[in-house]
Chains A and B, each alone.
Chain A
Amino acid sequence: MKKKLISLMLVGAMASSMVACGGSDAGSADTATDSAATTEDGASTADVQSDDENTLTVYAWDENFNIPALKAAEKDYQDVNKDFKLEIITQSQSSDVEQAVTLAAEAGDYSTLPDIVLFQDHYIQQYVTNYPDAWQDVDDADCDWSGLGAEKLSYSTIDGKHYGFPVDAGTAIFAYRTDLLEQAGYSIDDVKGITWEKFDEIGQKVYDATGKHLLCMDGSGNDLFYMMLQEEGVSQFKDGEPYIKDNKALVEVFEIIAKMAQDNVLYLANDWSDYTDQAIQGDMVAGVFNGNWIIPTMKQVSENSGKWEIVPAPSLTGKPGYASNGGSSLYITGNCKKTDLAKDFLAYTFGGRSAEDGQSTTYDEALLNGGVIGTCAAAAESDVYQQGVDFFNGQAIYADIVDYTQNVPTVEQSDYHYSARTALGTALQNVIENGYTTEQALEEAETNLRFEMGL
């Protein structure tokens, strides 16, 4: 009897709590639609379109980075169209947007997509090729394309037509911990314009003196190959085919990466979160080399403020190395009915029309609030870009990065960018752990990549 009573009470409690949950859910959904200004609840994807003719919807994924940039753009465009509203629908990561497009396209129902999506540069080409109906080109938008960075636009231009507006540059930075360099007997000047071999030598001393790695990377998604090759103006692809085992620069880059990993100079994290949370934020490293979007991650370790400085990367020959990695742009989806408004909004803000008029609210506030560094030349003249950053010992890193951006060589891109990355990452693993020679590993990588591409 007692047991029955207890179980009855438990069931009752459970049922009432469920009712309560359901009630509060419904309530929050109501308030969300009432205050339609900015729906930041990632779960409420039901309303991806707005009936209001001056409201656009957009998918973006980083609260600390690209979402502040979009909010700045909304504010900027309200100067032109005061009724304009941008509904930002937060996604938890970039792949959520890719999957949303895949699902909509495979289901043949684009009504689940918002007006605009933020999309990763390395993926957009294959998505436009395979799902052409999911996008609308913006070739006739009213903006000066030549001022937006040629390397950046090479991703979003497909068959000679512009599809996207650049948001952040992927320009790579090499940040060093000056205090740790000093402990090993070096200064920041010692790492400027050096070869990777010299870098390896310094790295070993730093590791011996401090126990920290001078370089780190995600071992599963190893971007080092791509960035180090781009510095030399070389790609992993040539005329649409893999260019690996006969690629002299790649062989050299591969060998030095393997050596650095074996010398404890390079720490290979297991995956992305291990790289950001453990290696960088866990204070295991004395150097970070990646796209400048990595800066907000580094800034999370506030006790290291003032100890970092940024210089161009080492290279094979010792000349300053400039590369780019990642970055994203804004694209108008096939589901957008207010195409003219969307085009005008994007051209005015991220397309740089407002910056040319001398008020670059979008880019200034994107930089101030999110640390987003654009590729728009007109915006870079603003004072905001010239200011020093405390975290980087007062260095005017934004101006420096814009300067780097101009020097990044354009290299051949491929739909199979990430497949190449996986193939080379596996090759590296084979050399370090399974005792392969470089030739064997690269031969296998090329075979696997060709297989993946169906060649």
Chain B
Amino acid sequence: MYFHGKWLAHFPFLKKGDANVEKKKHGMTLANKQLAAGWLFLTPATILIFIMSFYPIIQALITSFKTGKGVNIKFADPLTYNYSRMLQDVIFKTSMKNTFLYLIVEVPIMLILAILLAQLLNNKDLKFKGLFRTCIFLPCATSLVSYSLIFKSMFATQGLINTVLQNIGITHENINFLGTAGTARAVIIIALIWRWTGYNMVFYLAGLQNIEYSVYEAAKIDGANGWKTFWNITVPLLKPTIVMTAIMSINGTLQLFDESMNLTSGGPANSTITMSHYIYNQAFGQGVGNFGYTSAMSFVVFILVAILAFINLKVGDTRD
């Protein structure tokens, strides 16, 4: 966004009929030279982004209006067939419900945990700060697939969690965590919290470093207790960071794939499947792919992410 705005400020130079351009055709001014250099440097990346990203996006949009498989693919009649089909697709609705469940339950818990941990680890008097910070951030350094597989084996019917629960006497029988819809969803949420809390904490830590200590001192002198300080100083001053982490988390959760794919395989019977995972299944998971339909679903996810990010920005915007 920043770069974009900055370049826009220079745009009047290029407007048609601008006197500067007409006059200084021969022999560019220094400013124009710099500008030309800027464009020159930007061009390769722009062309690459266009070919590698924008062109496929347009192609996918066209594909989303087609139906049929393999050589039998053709434009649907009516063109919006794939989009109207989605409204009746029970599994797509399930996947949407699941995704929003993960979103609504996981994101708030994760962000609140992250902000609390950041607050704790920002304590000036705490020893071994670096060690603790590293420990909490470390899950983020693990690959999505490997951590999913580790959670899968931990929560297996004869896995670590069941053994521990039985040994300390909480349960008496092995629980089929991943084979039961409710617990399987809970396992995914727990895994997500484990994996991403540290990541968000780092942003909050960075945000906290920017808050002047004198503000806290002033609050202390005014007699504010710890909770009041946190709620009235830390949270408002961290607001931009909170909005950013919320957008990133929402975006990430809506596109959730690895956990559903590797931890539960969407099962039992599609009850934990996410939207991205269902899209993948329709394209590559079950025989010949229905690419028209999957493209259409991808665009719906894209629009959902855009809408939620927009709402989030509006909510977080304090300028009136």
Contact = CB atoms under 8 A, between A and B. Distances in A.
Given A123-B287, A270-B179, A426 B184 contact: no
Contact of A106 (B90, B179, B184, B291): B291
A274 B287 contact: no
Interface string B279-314: 000001111110100000000000000000000000
Interface in B255-291: 264-271, 284-289, 291
A373 interface: no
Nearest to A264: B173
A277 to B, nearest CB: 8
A131 B68 CA distance: 12
B89 A451 contact: yes
Interface string A426-439: 10110001000000
B154 interface: no
A102 interface: yes
Query: Which secondary structure dominates where chain B touches chain A?
Result: loop
B223 interface: no
B268 A270 contact: yes
A87 to B, nearest CB: 26
Nearest to A424: B269
A415 interface: yes
B158 A284 contact: yes
A6 to B, nearest CB: 15
Interface string A129-148: 11111000000000000000
A106 B72 CA distance: 12
Nearest to B181: A433
Contacts of A269: 157, 179
Contacts of B287: 98, 123, 126-127, 415, 418
Contacts of A278: 156-159
Contacts of A220: 265-270
Interface residues of B, number: 35
A284 B176 CA distance: 12
Given A219-B269, A270-B178, A418 B286 contact: yes
Nearest to A418: B286
B220 interface: no
Nearest to A444: B90
B269 A422 contact: yes
Interface in B204-260: none
Contacts of A447: 90
A237 to B, nearest CB: 15
Given A99-B284, A105-B70, A426-B270, A274 B289 contact: no
Given A130-B70, A133-B71, A278-B156, A422 B270 contact: yes
Contacts of A112: none
Interface string A145-178: 0000000000000000000000000000000000
Interface in B41-64: none
Contacts of B288: 102, 126-127, 130-131, 415
A272 B288 CA distance: 21
Contacts of B101: none
A95 B90 CA distance: 25
Interface string B152-188: 1000111100000000000000001011111010000
Interface in A12-45: none
Nearest to B184: A270
B265 A429 contact: no
B158 A271 contact: no
Contacts of B269: 219-220, 222, 422, 425-426, 428-429
A124 B66 CA distance: 23
Interface string A108-134: 000000000000000100110111110
B291 to A, nearest CB: 7
B91 interface: yes
Given A130-B70, A268-B179, A278-B158, A429 B291 contact: no
A444 B88 CA distance: 12
B10 interface: no
Contacts of A394: none
A282 interface: yes
Contacts of B181: 429, 433
Contact of B69 (A95, A130, A422, A444): A130
Contacts of A130: 69-72, 288
Best-buried of B271, B285, B288 by chain A (most CB within 10 Å) = B288
A433 B156 contact: no
20 contacts: A98-B284, A99-B284, A106-B291, A123-B287, A126-B288, A131-B70, A131-B71, A131-B288, A219-B267, A219-B268, A222-B269, A268-B179, A270-B267, A271-B267, A274-B179, A422-B286, A426-B270, A429-B271, A451-B89, A451-B90
Interface of A: 95, 98-99, 102, 105-106, 123, 126-127, 129-133, 219-220, 222, 267-274, 278-279, 282, 284, 415, 418-419, 422, 425-426, 428-429, 433, 444, 447-448, 451
6 closest cross-chain pairs (CB), A and B: A130-B70, A220-B267, A270-B178, A271-B265, A429-B269, A426-B269
Given A270-B265, A418-B286, A447-B90, 14 more contacts: A95-B284, A102-B288, A129-B70, A132-B71, A219-B179, A220-B270, A222-B269, A271-B267, A279-B157, A282-B157, A415-B287, A426-B271, A433-B180, A444-B90
